[in-house]
Amino acid sequence: MTNHISHMPIWAIVLFIASFLYSVVFITKPVKQAALNVGMTARKSTNIQIGIVAFYLAYLIYVSVFALKGTFDVNSLPPKVMVWAGMPLTIILFGFIGNTRLFKTLLRSISLESLIAVHVFRILGVFFILLYCYHLLPTKFAFFAGLGDIITAILAIPVAKMVSKGKSWSKPAVYAWNIFGIMDIIDLLVIAVTIGANGNLREVTVFPFVWFPAFAPATILFLHTAVFRKLNQLKHA
């Protein structure tokens, strides 16, 4: 029977799973604060946070089951992990969540700097580099994916501080940073489809690193879109 689990060392797999699950909780913290800012009770704000975490955990379990069965571990164009995992999440986030009254209410109360700072979770891109070090990802993909995420994560900190301090150049900096973060994901998807057609990206189709393509593109693009929507709100405030 074919093993559809990563060939990375156990310590790296455990560290990735723990870090990834913490990141899911981390990105919900600004949402909880936004709920409190808008006047919701502590209990309701906590329930919203728990609901988001539960949704993502259920989604990751769904993805993991298919990955462990080898559903995504095949050469196909477009990659099956994008069709059966990435696309459903994209549709849910952009087609449903982003249009709900609750989301729009929370977006009005959430701070721009917190929407930016939450992208620190993209430091998880270091795992792409680590996978390359173990000869499990091609150079171009690993460094393009890893460095793009790392740069976006690191720059999120000073950009968020500029916004919080009300610097005159903060808005242009936010636009530049946000566009960079979006283009990084879009370019990476193009590279993934191109390289994936040659069967060189197996590690991100098996457990647990399948979480990257299943979770990251849709979630990150949604968060970047939220930044643009928040900028538009502030512009018309």
Render each residue's pLDDT in the chain as its tens digit; 237 residues: 468 999 999 999 999 999 999 999 999 999 999 999 999 999 999 999 999 999 999 999 999 999 999 999 887 777 888 889 999 999 999 999 999 999 999 999 999 999 999 999 999 999 999 999 999 999 989 999 999 999 999 999 999 999 999 888 899 999 999 999 999 999 888 888 777 655 588 899 999 999 999 999 999 999 999 999 999 999 876
Q: Cα dist. 191→121, 139, 141, 143, 149 in Å?
A: 22, 12, 7, 12, 15
The CA distance from 237 to 14, in Å, is 45
Q: Can you give the pLDDT at residue 132?
A: 96
Q: Can you give the pLDDT at residue 1?
A: 43
Q: Can you give the pLDDT at residue 168?
A: 81
Buried b (16+ CB within 10 A) or exposed e, 96-128: eeeeeeebeebbeebbbbbbbbbbbbbbbbbbb
- Enumerate the β-bridge partners of residue 84: none
8 A C-beta contact, residue 160 and residue 181 = no
At 91, is the secondary structure helix, strand, or coil?
helix
Name the amino acid, one letter, at 38.
V
The CA distance from 237 to 12, in Å, is 46
Q: Cα dist. 38→41, 47, 102, 103 in Å?
A: 9, 15, 11, 12
Q: Can you give the pLDDT at residue 163?
A: 95
- Enumerate the β-bridge partners of residue 207: 5
